[in-house]
Amino acid sequence: MWSGITRGLPLALVATASAMSTWKDFEFERQHGKEQGKPAPWLSHIDNGNSQSYIVKLDCVGCPHGSERFGEWKDDPRDSSLLLNFTATSSDGMLLNGYPFLNIAAHPPGIEAVQVASDIPKAPFDMLLGKHIINERPANPRKGRKFSRYALEYEHTILRADGSSEDELLQFDVTAIYRFNFPNPGTWSLNQEGQKMVQIKLKPGFQYGHDLFVAEDIQLIDRKDRAQPMKMKCGRLAMVKTDYNPTEWDAYGKLGTWSRTGNVVASQAYDFMKNNVVLIVAVFFAFAVVKAFRRRAARRAQEALALDDEEAATLIINVEAPPEYSEYTGRESFEVKQEGEQLLPNAEDEKN
């Protein structure tokens, strides 16, 4: 019956079902102490056409590991590894687990890594890579809970090696891991002896392309064996080092900085405008209507004031203007004056 059902299914689904079966067999054999298959190598290569991915199994010395139950963790000394997917692309230069990871000094990304058993065989490991579990975090944390995830505290350093004027190196050192799921949060420092780090040789000048680095350029080294930066003529070291702690950063920036405050304000303003477009348009329209009404009212008031000033000016002219001259009025005034002169006593007569 099963063969009849699968006969019509695409080959990819059949392959996935087979891989899942292999994963279950691997877990069953581990629990019962049976012999495991050959472990997957520490470095795997995937050719994506326009990009090249290199998956590194970084040993996590002394780390706890998750069980198949959500929120449950075990602290026994089972060897485990963190999966780091370094991808060289022509557009972004370098990605780590899906995040741009070359020039990150301004805003380092929050990187999460999937944890697997260090001796995981190749078949279930290939299944894990095929399901893109490394880069994509499931929306439902209960889904794919066989693969525990940790947030990483790390040091990211780009340097020019001492004794070389051309070699550019990227050093990636995981210093601690965090789990933030609410049933059982915790943090562990990766400071035990034997803990390794990643060192990658880059093309000079960070020339973007799928050949920014190749498999031969990737190394897992002890911290004490890391390359040291050269000293420049000014006395400074030729390096750019960025420290990231997931408890000190969020999507807006580093906590307690003015740049983060500005990003929060800008983001909230953008979200408000995006969610209230109709309201904003209505407010602007109402503002324009009120402004036009007030402008019209002011213009009418000015016109009325100008009319009042005209009438007032006319009244003032009428009041202060001298009476109109007429021939009759002038002659009458002259006659009155003459009569007045005759009525006045003559000075000589008064003397006599």
Ramachandran quadrant class, 273 (left: phi over 0; alpha: psi -120 to 50; beta: rest)? alpha
For residues 93 and 177, membership in a common domain is answered with: yes
For residues 58 and 117, membership in a common domain is answered with: yes
For residues 310 and 230, membership in a common domain is answered with: no
Q: What backbone phi and psi angles, to 5 degrees, belong to 131?
A: -90, 5
Per-block mean pLDDT, blocks of 10 residues, the chain (352 long): 37 37 47 65 87 91 72 70 89 84 84 88 81 66 63 92 75 91 75 92 66 83 91 86 88 74 75 77 85 83 68 58 55 50 51 50
For residues 230 and 302, membership in a common domain is answered with: no
Tell me, yes or no, whether 334 lies in a domain. no
State the residue range of the domain holding 304.
277-324
Structure tokens at 348: 């000589």
pLDDT of residue 96: 92
For residues 230 and 316, membership in a common domain is answered with: no
Tell me, yes or no, whether 125 lies in a domain. yes
pLDDT of residue 59: 92
Tell me, yes or no, whether 150 lies in a domain. yes
Where does residue 124 rank: exposed (0-12), middle (13-18), buried (19+ CB within 10 A)? Answer: buried
pLDDT of residue 286: 87
Listed in order, strand segments (DSSP E) in the chain are 43-47, 51-59, 65-66, 73-74, 80-89, 93-96, 99-100, 112-117, 148-160, 168-179, 186-189, 196-202, 218-222, 239-244, 249-250, 253-254
For residues 122 and 163, membership in a common domain is answered with: yes
Count of domains forming the chain: 2
DSSP-derived letter for residue 215 is G
Where does residue 209 rank: exposed (0-12), middle (13-18), buried (19+ CB within 10 A)? Answer: middle
Tell me, yes or no, whether 211 lies in a domain. yes
For residues 198 and 308, membership in a common domain is answered with: no
pLDDT of residue 206: 56
Single pTM value for the model: 0.66
Tell me, yes or no, whether 155 lies in a domain. yes
For residues 189 and 300, membership in a common domain is answered with: no
For residues 236 and 281, membership in a common domain is answered with: no
For residues 188 and 284, membership in a common domain is answered with: no
Q: What backbone phi and psi angles, to 5 degrees, belong to 164?
A: -135, 135
pLDDT of residue 56: 94
Tell me, yes or no, whether 202 lies in a domain. yes
Tell me, yes or no, whether 288 lies in a domain. yes
Q: Report CA 29 to chain centroid distance, whole Å.
A: 44
3-state class of 157 per DSSP? strand
For residues 291 and 232, membership in a common domain is answered with: no
Distances (CA, A) of 322 to 267, 317, 318, 326, 327: 76, 10, 9, 12, 15
For residues 94 and 234, membership in a common domain is answered with: yes
Tell me, yes or no, whether 73 lies in a domain. yes
